[in-house]
Chain A
Amino acid sequence: METGSAAPITEVSRLCKRFGTVTALDSLSFRVCRGEILGILGPNGAGKTTAIHCMLGLVTPSGGSIRIMGLDIARHRRQILQRVNFSSAYTALPANLTVYENLVVFARLYGRKDAREEIARLLELFEIEDSAGRLTGSLSSGQQTRLNLCKAFLNDPEILFLDEPTASLDPDIAAKVRTRLHELQLERGITTIYTSHNMREVEEMCDRVIFLAKGRIVMQGSPAAIIAQSKSRSLEDLFIVIARNGHLYEAVDDREAEPCGSE
């Protein structure tokens, strides 16, 4: 991993989120280095999506702070949103617009008046160029996921949030999408924050992962390092152990890991 700069591009400090009596995030602290692909892992309800939505300003934290590209999300949400993007298997673009129309609308939302070339390039990259004139609702779920990814690259983001981006794809398309994402990440130096329940995918994609259980980080490090550290056979085995016994683990402050810029 080449992190490039010593300052973390994202720093989350003592992030807390309570929904009534439920604690979704419990003093979560971690940082993401520039150009890094960080996987946020954990069982359902561990707090992955809440953490990402806090970083995108969709959910207001109960406590703690989030600094992205040196800016506080609470005060500079729109400046940050101009430079990041998001794709999830659980969101969709309007079904009654064509693929091309959707991308034109979102290009404008991100301040790009004439994005024809970029749209054509992205459609080709994700192999849905033949569907440009089709209604989005008529696409297969795999094509819709790839369209979501096209949308996510329209503003050439510095940070990309991917929430289970390959959840609805068959293995062949999922592998192609991972390859494309890796290529784009290397070409543009994009920092990526990634969630997935596919542990093989995480091992392949992520430089580093943090495991969440009940809103706390219980383990962090490179996939290889934490597999070795936990004496598990694979990340999937470790996932199952944490999903079943997460409450037995001590909380970890991820910022105690190696600083950004170190090899």
Chain B
Amino acid sequence: MWLRISAIVMRFFFLHRRSVARVMEIFFWPVMNLLVWGFVTSFLQELALPKTVLFLIGSVILWDVLYRSQQGITLAITEEFWVKNIINIFISPISVAELLGAICIVGIIKSLVTTIFLALLAFFLYSFNLMETGPGLVLFLGNLLLFGWAVGLFTMALIFRYGRAGEALIWGVPFLIQPVSAVFYPVGVLPLWLQKVAWLLPSTYVFEGMRQVLATGVTDMFKLGVSFGLNMVYLLLGSLYFGWMLRRVREMGYLSRMHLE
């Protein structure tokens, strides 16, 4: 099992070590995002707004974790269609669970590298210390990774079903979640009906929790617990849906035709 998982991890390592575009994906875009929001934050601080406005920088860093983990699953598999390798993978003895496990390991490594880099940059440029979120930081990151994977499973299932036509979902779905997750503002500013939807998303608890830690220094373990519980539900549903869709695409013959699209 580990040998097959290591094969997929190695494949990603080989891909990244000579691709400038892929290294940019890990560093360049997140850094650009951080710079924009960092300067916005600096400007707001000049207006003598409370120090808690720094949460914007924290939001940028944490949002990137969710975004990258969703992208990790979807892009890893979609890329196999693009390079016509999907059949070679699916006729090898690797199981779907092993394939997803390997992709998750790669996702964790990429997220850690990006988060540490952004956190250091934010500290030196804007005096924002991500560690101020306390021991809950690991739980924040973990919950966002889990939710990104759950969303990635749903997205990937739809791409299996709709092929190339579904690929826009890879980039579209995270931005459907972002406004509802109250990433850059408190959930209270949302319309009442949308707040009810927001509390169904594990990410909302994380961003609310992060703002609370920065404002009061208290980590709300209850919120993190609810977020984890919701993540377990979504991961279970995502896995079932992904598995069901994979069986359907085998029945419909899509899996063997995807590389021809």
Contact = CB atoms under 8 A, between A and B. Distances in A.
A49 B93 contact: no
Given A108-B6, A110-B92, A111-B93, A88 B14 contact: no
A68 B56 CA distance: 59
A194 interface: no
B4 A60 contact: no
Contact of A86 (B8, B87, B259): B87
| Count class of interface residues, chain A | 35 or more
Interface string A53-91: 100111110000000000000000011011011101011
Most buried by A among B7, B19, B89: B7
Interface in B151-197: none
Contact of B83 (A81, A92, A104, A110): A92
Interface stretch (A95-103, A165-173, A205-213): A95-103
B259 A50 contact: no
Contact of A78 (B18, B85, B93, B256): B93
A94 B253 contact: no
A94 B3 contact: no
B3 A111 contact: yes
Interface in B51-107: 83-85, 87-95
Contacts of A92: 83-85
B94 A109 contact: yes
A58 B3 contact: no
A126 interface: no
A103 to B, nearest CB: 11
Most buried by A among B18, B83, B91, B259: B91
B88 to A, nearest CB: 6
Interface stretch (B119-127, B198-206, B244-252): B244-252
Nearest to B11: A105
B88 A93 contact: yes
Most buried by A among B19, B88, B255: B88
Interface of A: 17, 19, 24, 49-50, 53, 56-60, 78-79, 81-82, 84-86, 88, 90-98, 101, 104-111, 113, 151
Given A59-B255, A88-B87, A91-B259, 15 more contacts: A49-B256, A53-B253, A53-B256, A58-B256, A81-B92, A90-B84, A92-B85, A94-B11, A94-B15, A94-B83, A101-B10, A101-B14, A105-B10, A108-B6, A109-B4
The 7 closest A-B CB pairs, nearest first, are A108-B7, A92-B84, A109-B92, A53-B256, A82-B93, A58-B256, A60-B250
